[in-house]
Amino acid sequence: MRHILSITATWRNLPMQAKKPLALLLSLSMGLSMGTPALAAARETSLPDVGQSWAADSIHRWLEAGLVEGDDQGLFRPAANLTRGELATIFVRLLGLSEKVPNRYADLKGDEWYADAILKCTAAGIMEGDGTNCNATQTITRQETMVMFARAMGIREEKEPNLGQFVDGTDAAGWAAGYLAPLAQLGILSGVEDGSHLAPMANIDRASTMALLDKAVSDYITGSAQVEAEDEGRFVVINTGSAARSGAQVEVSGRAAGLVVAPGSAGAKVTAQDLTAATVKVDAPVELTLSGSTSADYLSVNAEAQLAVEKDASVEELSLNAAAQVDNQGTIGKAAVNADGVVLDGKLPGSLEVTDGVDQPTDSEGNQVGGDNNNGGSNGGGSGSGGSGGSGGGNGGGSGGSDGDGDGDGDGGQVPPVQAGPAVTQVSEEEGKVTIQFDQALYTMEEDVLTKIGSSSTPEGDVVNNEALQAAGYAISGDVQITNLYVDNETGFVWTFDFNSAKLGDGMRYNKAIYDAEGNSAGYLTARRHVALKDDEGRTPYYVWTVAFEQEAEADITAPVLEKESVTLLGDDDTLTLTVPVSDQGELAYLEIDHSLEASFPEFTVEAKSYDFLDEESGLGYTSVYTDTQGEQKWEITLNPVATALLRQAADGSPMTFYFSVKDKAGNQFGSMYFVDEEMTVSDVSVPLDTTAPTVVSFAIDDQVVEDGDTVNFDEGQEFTSLTVTLSEAVVAGDQTQHITIDGHEFGTFVIDEADPTKLHITVTNHNGNKYVEGTFQFDLAAGALKDASGNENEELSYTIHFTQNPGV
């Protein structure tokens, strides 16, 4: 039976430039037994024993790229096991590795044909050995191969890996599991035999190695090119080769698992244009520009590169491991500086950490940039220097003095940068107030004029003696204290100052309810007020705020109860009265009223509606008036302060269906529907509140139910005409998208059955357009992709089935 690891060449996106041959050759051959690699005068792209291999397409791709070639007998030997030294040589060619470490391996003399490759892979962090030996001549295992590949691509090791999809997942070594798990999630690492076995200790042959590279690397770029990556489960590798091509210009767009700018690309100019990638690994001194809407979860710079992050681009986490130059005009959430000589220009990251013993980064003018490894103090902090001319970084910014200078103005944001400015030294709470102690005098900004707190003679700027603030419960003492929080004991709401470049009193935000997944209320957000504070150099502290009080309310998950209902006809005016008393009138303090109308005659449309709150203090009174297309009033609804709903029938007596729901302040609703027919009767008066989310009941292929993780065998040419997911209730499309993938490739869609909306019908085609595929089928349904009639959204769902062709077919 064929391994699921195999993949056909037609699935890859290989740019023309990637097909140009490399100048370097690699021999994987019987010549290894003689102690030296076999040499060839010219590259061969077709060998007599390749065409019979299940991985022929993959082997031909890398033969053509120059990574491998035949042995001295003109054979590739696809079934032969690979050694550690041979794999090291492949990575050297793939990435253009050149830097070596001093030999630290006891079993490596240094004159072996594979010695340079071992030392280069060690320098690149791809190979580590067992602590004493490199074991270059030993055959390599599947888990060793996958770990080396993951390190080469910049995949981060998972701290708590889960390989539970494999029956032997626990057999993986502890040092390997953290790399194997993310490769399995990407679909690069598949099980063997029926797909259920990881076989981490099994040897890997040459054919499988070529298939791995073919499967994992969608685009291999060796010179100037424009490439659109099309698979978020595969990698783009750039290795522009020798110095003769050092001026190569490469543009990559689309979506990929990762972008690797290999060491062999020194001098190239690389642009990521509207690229979405989980990882970006820069191992060469290149100019890398993140342009357009490019986003990367993790970007590591391991060479003296120049990185430009343009306005709309973003990096969630940046690791600077060499003396790189960064110009950030976009968004960098978190940055770690692990090397001396780093230059940071433009907007600072949301948080900045500098490794102990590493020099503080500077801007291009030599001014130090603040980081988390220092706590400020007498030497100042942020992007300016303070105190007596000293410099340093600070979590909240350092102190400014008479000799200090700097530029702390910025534009804040979700995670605003810490720049030079007043730093918080102490936070204390007493009698319902919070006092924040700063390390220097503070100022307010009114119409671009600095007004020192505590010393102003003008009423508007004298915050310490401001009567309005004192009356509201705020207090500031001296030049260096400000009360940050005020608690209103009657409402329980918390007002906060957060010092964010706004005038005092501007930017009021009112309380908002916090809801759980079912829409139940769990408390209230704090309202915020903004005030701008500056030091005497005009520098602003960013988001210096704290929350000392937190409103915690017990979640209310009960809906109002309809205790009784009555329907009464009131004489000639055809007024229908529905009385809805509740047990606790106070629960109706924040009613939210939803309504809609479906009339039985087509000329009726809702052209206008008006709202008249009968009791503004309580907010309970409510009237909605509906008119037809000619402007004639047809009917109205009134909800009065005693919670009586009135439905007035139109003068012509036409029947209508009327939906009416009332929610309490926790978001729970009555959930009642009323149908009024010609006889003015009411039915279905109490529909229970539906709080359940749609779930999967079963998954079937041609009406045969299969379980998550099952393996389905098929014959050649067989078509599966029906793949169906049955849900617990009827659904409609939600706001989120869904994905159907096969070995990491998007191959399918689903539609909701119009006749029976509890069923989803899936269409899957392989690369030949047939309705079957050999590989791992994964149906990923994002939370919120579907919702039921009550608006409950589905939770995240992933369903996996393995398709294998019957042996011998």
Which residue did the predictor score with more confidence, 111 or 685? 111
Exposed/middle/buried for residue 312 (C-beta within 10 Å: 0-12, 13-18, 19+): middle
**Model pLDDT, residue 287:** 94
Q: Which residues pair with 73 in a beta bridge?
A: none
Query: Phi and psi for 193 in degrees, rounded to 5?
Result: 55, -105
For 120, 385, 415, 515, the CA distances from 113, given in Å and listed in that order, are 13, 55, 52, 65
Query: What is the C-alpha to C-alpha distance for residues 483 and 474, in angstroms, rounded to an integer?
Result: 6
**Model pLDDT, residue 45:** 54
Convert the pLDDT of each residue in 193-244 to its tens digit.
Answer: 788 889 999 999 999 999 999 999 999 999 899 999 999 899 999 998 754 3
Q: Mean pLDDT: which of 107-111, 486-490, 667-671 is highest? A: 107-111
> Is residue 416 domain-resident?
no
HEC per residue, 227-266? EEEEEEEEEEEECCCCHHHCCCEEEEEEEEEEEEECHHHC
> Is residue 652 domain-resident?
yes
653 and 717 share a domain? no
For 600, 609, 611, 612, the CA distances from 624, given in Å and listed in that order, are 20, 6, 5, 7
> Is residue 562 domain-resident?
no
**Model pLDDT, residue 248:** 86
**Model pLDDT, residue 625:** 57
Tell me which residue has tokens 């409950």.
Answer: 792
Contacts 24+ apart (CB under 8 A), 482-486: 482/435, 482/436, 482/438, 482/442, 482/453, 482/533, 483/433, 483/434, 483/435, 483/436, 484/427, 484/434, 484/435, 484/436, 484/545, 484/546, 485/433, 485/434, 485/546, 485/547, 485/548, 485/549, 486/432, 486/433
Q: 22 CB contacts (<8 Å, ≥6 apart)? A: 65, 66, 67, 93, 222, 239, 241
pLDDT-derived band of residue 319, with 50, 70 and 90 as boundaries? very high
173 and 36 share a domain? yes
pLDDT at 637 over 80: no
**Model pLDDT, residue 468:** 39
> Is residue 1 domain-resident?
no
Query: What is the C-alpha to C-alpha distance for residues 651 and 372, in angstroms, rounded to an integer?
Result: 73
Contact status, residue 252 vs residue 231, Cβ threshold 8 Å? no
Which residue did the predictor score with more confidence, 560 or 380? 560
Token code pair at residue 723: 């793949």
Exposed/middle/buried for residue 185 (C-beta within 10 Å: 0-12, 13-18, 19+): middle
pLDDT-derived band of residue 297, with 50, 70 and 90 as boundaries? very high
Mean pLDDT score, 297-324: 94
pLDDT at 694 over 60: yes
| C-alpha gyration radius of the chain | 34
Domain boundary among 683, 707, 723: 683
End-to-end CA distance of the chain: 10
**Model pLDDT, residue 514:** 30
Contact status, residue 281 vs residue 258, Cβ threshold 8 Å? yes
The percent of residues above 90 in pLDDT, for the chain, comes to 30
**Model pLDDT, residue 792:** 78
**Model pLDDT, residue 628:** 58
Nearest to 507 by CA among 527, 525, 529: 529
Lowest mean pLDDT among 68-72, 608-612, 776-780: 608-612
Query: What is the C-alpha to C-alpha distance for residues 721 and 718, in angstroms, rounded to an integer?
Result: 9
Query: What is the C-alpha to C-alpha distance for residues 52 and 46, in angstroms, rounded to an integer?
Result: 12
pLDDT-derived band of residue 554, with 50, 70 and 90 as boundaries? very low
Query: What is the C-alpha to C-alpha distance for residues 378 and 233, in angstroms, rounded to an integer?
Result: 50
Token code pair at residue 794: 């589905």
Domain boundary among 648, 683, 718: 683
Query: What is the C-alpha to C-alpha distance for residues 469 and 475, in angstroms, rounded to an integer?
Result: 7
> Is residue 688 domain-resident?
no
Contact status, residue 581 vs residue 564, Cβ threshold 8 Å? yes
Domain that holds residue 649: 567-683
Lowest mean pLDDT among 232-241, 416-425, 517-526, 791-800: 517-526
Nearest to 573 by CA among 656, 649, 639, 644: 649
Mean pLDDT score, 339-354: 90
402 and 497 share a domain? no
For 124, 576, 674, the CA distances from 681, given in Å and listed in that order, are 80, 9, 9
Query: What is the C-alpha to C-alpha distance for residues 186 and 233, in angstroms, rounded to an integer?
Result: 5
Mean pLDDT score, 340-346: 93
**Model pLDDT, residue 127:** 94
pLDDT-derived band of residue 433, with 50, 70 and 90 as boundaries? very low
Token code pair at residue 363: 């801007």
Buried b (16+ CB within 10 A) or exposed e, 346-355: ebbbbbbbbe
Give residue 140's identity as a one-letter amino acid code.
I
Chain centroid to CA 562: how far? 43
615 and 709 share a domain? no
Chain centroid to CA 330: how far? 17
Contact status, residue 419 vs residue 411, Cβ threshold 8 Å? no
**Model pLDDT, residue 366:** 86
Query: What is the C-alpha to C-alpha distance for residues 31 and 37, in angstroms, rounded to an integer?
Result: 5
Lowest mean pLDDT among 64-73, 77-86, 309-318, 395-404: 395-404
Convert the pLDDT of each residue in 466-495 to its tens digit.
Answer: 443 344 333 333 332 333 333 223 332 222
Query: What is the C-alpha to C-alpha distance for residues 472 and 102, in angstroms, rounded to an integer?
Result: 70
45 and 193 share a domain? yes
3-state secondary structure of 611: strand
Contact status, residue 234 vs residue 256, Cβ threshold 8 Å? yes
Contact status, residue 530 vs residue 497, Cβ threshold 8 Å? yes
428 and 530 share a domain? yes
700 and 795 share a domain? yes
Which residue did the predictor score with more confidence, 152 or 508? 152
208 and 285 share a domain? no
Query: What is the C-alpha to C-alpha distance for residues 190 and 3, in angstroms, rounded to an integer?
Result: 8
Give residue 117's identity as a one-letter amino acid code.
A
Give residue 328's identity as a one-letter amino acid code.
N
Query: What is the C-alpha to C-alpha distance for residues 608 and 142, in angstroms, rounded to an integer?
Result: 69
The percent of residues above 70 in pLDDT, for the chain, comes to 50
**Number of H helices and number of E strands within the chain?**
7, 43
Q: Mean pLDDT: which of 2-6, 170-174, 668-672, 676-680 is highest? A: 170-174
Query: Phi and psi for 676 in degrees, rounded to 5?
Result: -110, 120
**Model pLDDT, residue 635:** 53
**Model pLDDT, residue 746:** 66
Give residue 514's identity as a one-letter amino acid code.
I
Q: 577 CB contacts (<8 Å, ≥6 apart)? A: 566, 567, 568, 570, 644, 645, 646
Give the Cβ contact number of residue 659 at 10 Å. 13
> Is residue 689 domain-resident?
no
> Is residue 418 domain-resident?
no
> Is residue 4 domain-resident?
no
Domain boundary among 488, 523, 554: 554
Token code pair at residue 153: 């691509």
Lowest mean pLDDT among 29-38, 221-230, 349-358: 29-38
pLDDT at 136 over 60: yes
The number of distinct structural domains making up the chain is 6
CATH label of the domain that carries residue 714: 2.60.40.1220
652 and 503 share a domain? no
593 and 445 share a domain? no
Give the Cβ contact number of residue 528 at 10 Å. 16
Give residue 106's identity as a one-letter amino acid code.
A
Query: What is the C-alpha to C-alpha distance for residues 174 and 52, in angstroms, rounded to an integer?
Result: 37
Convert the pLDDT of each residue in 42-94 to its tens digit.
Answer: 345 568 888 888 889 999 999 988 888 888 888 888 999 999 999 999 999 99
pLDDT at 640 over 50: no
Contact status, residue 64 vs residue 210, Cβ threshold 8 Å? no
Nearest to 239 by CA among 366, 448, 476, 65: 65
In a 13 Å sphere around the CA of 801, the CA atoms on its Cβ side amount to: 20
pLDDT at 779 over 70: yes
For 146, 154, 199, 726, the CA distances from 216, given in Å and listed in that order, are 11, 13, 19, 34
pTM: 0.47
For 569, 577, 808, the CA distances from 635, given in Å and listed in that order, are 15, 13, 74
Dihedral angle computed from the Cα positions of residues 444, 447, 448 and 454, in that order, rounded to the nearest 10 degrees: -20
Token code pair at residue 177: 């599991």
Q: What DSSP line would sit under 488-500, residue for residue? A: -TTT--EEEE---
172 and 320 share a domain? no
**Model pLDDT, residue 260:** 97
136 and 39 share a domain? yes
pLDDT at 669 over 90: no
Query: What is the C-alpha to C-alpha distance for residues 355 and 371, in angstroms, rounded to an integer?
Result: 9
Query: What is the C-alpha to C-alpha distance for residues 122 and 60, in angstroms, rounded to an integer?
Result: 28
Which ranges of 389-499 does DSSP label H, i.e. alpha helix? 467-472
pLDDT at 541 over 70: no
Tell me which residue has tokens 């009114």.
Answer: 446
Convert the pLDDT of each residue in 761-775 to its tens digit.
Answer: 887 665 555 555 567
Convert the pLDDT of each residue in 709-719 to its tens digit.
Answer: 888 887 776 77
Tell me which residue has tokens 């989803």.
Answer: 760
Mean pLDDT score, 615-624: 46
**Model pLDDT, residue 155:** 94
Nearest to 101 by CA among 115, 84, 85: 115
**Model pLDDT, residue 398:** 31
**Model pLDDT, residue 339:** 94
Tell me what the pLDDT averaged over the chain comes to.
Answer: 65
Give residue 149's identity as a one-letter amino acid code.
F
pLDDT-derived band of residue 797, with 50, 70 and 90 as boundaries? confident
